[in-house]
């Protein structure tokens, strides 16, 4: 035949045949493949790999009856390590191709899992056809199982899905244990809501970065370790003060919505948050001055930007709360717009001064580097 020998190839990527029936691969030849399938069938008759092997034997018989030069082989990977298993499949396939002299290949699989090795097979031998065998009574069952299994095995997806579910179940169990199931619903929805907000706004990445910076500062004896610690304390204090502010204004107006709750929280806590940001940026400035002068031009602007943003947001919170006509709010609505305008002007002035100082510092640092060089 001008086309050369065709290799009928059945691949068991997760090595059920080796793990369950202790059959070693690669297996070459019709009788050897049938013997391996019978061995697996006696161990686990429900394994879907059986269908793929028998389908491969059937295709071999059909092509052989037509007088075509054909060979059949069974390959398997590794049950515990997919990477090592894929490498084993590639190595075994190269051995089979050399021994059979096959010019093309027909791949027979039992689901999506085995088709992951298709690029590996195509790199060793041309694939003329892929035959996917699906059990008639349960179509796509193994593919669906494999996709779900891969999702839960992924650490990132597992943390996103399993952590909230596990936490919710644990809280419900504790609430029922103490005879207060109604409170569990409130707590669960609250914690899950906070968790989703953290993920949605990528606050978890911010906290991970801050924690990593804190550990790095501690290991290298940087001054920012102290400022990080103080900043965290001030953030905690600011959060408590913000919640206290919300409780102070919330009972005075029954129609106080979520937006005004957030604004009142910012109004009470923003001063502490700004102070934490200034202390943190001050620590970065000191470390840059002592250890890395080249970074000084980049971080010198941080306290000015922190102050500018804080002033503008604080002025906006005053303006918003003054318009809500809260009886106990100290700023009247007639002066709210004045405070907002002053805050915007002060914030812009602060940012401009920071950019100007940053330009001067960068020039001086560049001159010092040139002199040193």
Together in a domain, 173 and 60 = no
Residue 235: band (very low, low, confident or very high) from pLDDT cuts 50, 70, 90: confident
Query: What percent of the chain shows pLDDT beyond 70?
Result: 72
Q: Which of 138, 163, 190 is the last residue of a domain?
A: 138
Residues 352 and 220 in one domain: yes
Could you tell me the pTM of the whole model?
0.45
Please indicate, yes or no, whether residues 284 and 164 belong to a single structural domain of this protein: no
Task: Please report whether residue 143 resides in a domain.
Answer: no
The arithmetic mean of pLDDT across residues 81-110, rounded, is 86
Least confident span in 121-135, 150-164, 219-233? 150-164
Mapped onto helix, strand or coil, the DSSP state of residue 104 is strand
Residue 258 banded pLDDT, cuts 50, 70, 90: low
Reading the block at residue 363, the tokens are 């020039």
Please compute the mean of the pLDDT values over residues 201-223 and round it to a whole number: 63
User: DSSP states of 32-43 as a string?
Assistant: HHHHHHHHHHHH
The strand order across the sheet containing 27-28 reads 27-28, 70-76, 5-12, 102-109, 127-132
Integer Cα distance of 76 and 90 in angstroms: 10
267 in a domain, yes or no? Answer: yes
Residue 241 lies in a domain: yes
* Predicted pLDDT at 44: 81
Q: Which residues pair with 108 in a beta bridge?
A: 10, 131
> Residue 196 above 80 pLDDT?
no
- 84 and 220 belong to one structural domain: no
Q: Return all residues near 14 (Cβ < 8 A) that are at least 6 apart.
A: 77, 79, 82, 85, 113
CA separation for the pair 173, 241 (Å, rounded) = 32
**Are 41 and 124 part of one and the same domain?**
yes
Same domain, 113 and 187: no
Residues 345 and 208 in one domain: yes
* Phi-psi category of residue 79: left, alpha or beta, with phi > 0 → left and psi -120 to 50 → alpha: alpha
Q: Which residue would you say has higher pLDDT here, 370 or 272? A: 272
CB-CB contact of 108 with 133 (8 Å): yes
**Six-digit token string for 337:** 């717009």
Per-residue pLDDT for 327 more than 70? no
* Domain assignment of residue 122, yes or no: yes
Do both 197 and 207 map to the same domain? Answer: no
Domain assignment present for 146: no
Out of 112, 138, 164, pick the residue that ends a domain.
138
Q: What would the two tokens of residue 193 be?
A: 């809501």
Cα separation values, 167 from 152, 178, 192, Å: 16, 17, 8
Same domain, 212 and 196: no
Q: Indicate if the pLDDT at residue 137 is higher than 60.
A: no
Nearest Cα neighbor of 300 from 281, 279, 280, 278 is 281
Domain assignment present for residue 75? The answer is: yes
Domain region containing 234: 202-372
pLDDT, tens digit, for every residue of 171-181? 777 777 777 76
pLDDT in tens, 32-81: 999 988 888 888 887 777 888 888 899 999 998 998 899 999 988 887 77
- The residues, ordered by sequence, that sit 6+ positions from 338 with a Cβ below 8 Å of its Cβ are none
Tens of pLDDT, residues 15-37: 888 888 888 888 898 899 999 88
Q: Are residues 302 and 244 in the same domain?
A: yes
What is the number of structural domains in the chain?
A: 3
**pLDDT attached to residue 281:** 85
Least confident of 129-133, 161-165, 201-205: 201-205
Q: What pLDDT, on a 0 to 100 scale, did the predictor assign at position 70? A: 92
My answer on whether 103 and 241 are in the same domain is no
Residues 51 and 124 grouped into a single domain: yes
pLDDT at 252 over 50: no
User: Where is the domain boundary, 167, 186, 201?
Assistant: 201
C-beta of residue 310 within 8 angstroms of C-beta of residue 270: yes
The mean of the pLDDT values for the chain is: 78
Decide which of 197 and 322 is more confident: 322
Average pLDDT over residues 104-131: 80
What per-residue confidence (pLDDT) applies to 72?
Answer: 92
């Amino acid at each position: 035949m001008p086309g050369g020998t065709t290799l009928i190839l059945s691949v068991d990527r997760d090595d059920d045949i080796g793990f369950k029936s202790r059959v070693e691969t690669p297996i070459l030849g019709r009788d050897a493949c049938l013997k391996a399938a019978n061995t697996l069938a006696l161990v686990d008759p429900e394994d879907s790999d059986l269908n793929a092997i028998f389908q491969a034997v059937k295709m071999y018989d059909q092509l052989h009856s037509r007088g075509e030069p054909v060979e059949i082989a069974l390959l398997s990977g590794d049950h515990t390590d997919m990477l090592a298993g894929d490498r084993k499949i590639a190595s075994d396939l190269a051995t089979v191709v050399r021994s059979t002299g096959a010019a093309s290949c027909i791949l027979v699989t039992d689901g999506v899992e085995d088709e992951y090795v298709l690029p590996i097979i195509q790199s060793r031998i041309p694939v003329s056809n892929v035959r996917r065998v699906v059990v008639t009574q349960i179509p796509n069952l193994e593919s669906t199982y494999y996709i779900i299994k891969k999702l839960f095995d992924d650490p990132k997806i597992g943390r996103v899905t399993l952590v909230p579910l596990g936490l919710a179940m644990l809280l419900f169990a504790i609430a029922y244990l103490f005879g207060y199931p109604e409170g569990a619903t409130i707590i669960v929805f609250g914690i899950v809501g906070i968790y989703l907000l953290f993920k949605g706004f990528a606050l978890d990445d911010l906290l991970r970065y801050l924690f990593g910076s804190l550990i790095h500062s501690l290991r290298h004896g940087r001054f920012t370790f102290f400022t990080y610690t103080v900043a965290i304390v001030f953030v905690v204090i600011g959060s408590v003060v913000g919640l206290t502010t919300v409780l102070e204004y919330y009972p005075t107006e029954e129609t106080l919505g979520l937006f005004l709750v957030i604004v009142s929280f910012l109004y009470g806590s923003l001063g502490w948050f700004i102070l934490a940001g200034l202390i943190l940026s001050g620590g970065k400035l000191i470390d840059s001055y002592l250890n890395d002068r080249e970074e000084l031009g980049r971080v010198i602007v941080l306290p000015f930007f922190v102050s500018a943003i804080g002033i503008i947001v604080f002025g906006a919170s005053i303006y918003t709360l003054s318009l809500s006509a809260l009886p106990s709010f100290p700023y009247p609505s007639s002066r709210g717009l004045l405070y907002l305008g002053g805050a915007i002007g002060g914030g812009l002035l602060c940012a401009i001064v920071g950019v100007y100082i940053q330009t001067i510092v960068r020039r001086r640092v560049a001159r010092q580097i040139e002199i040193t060089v």
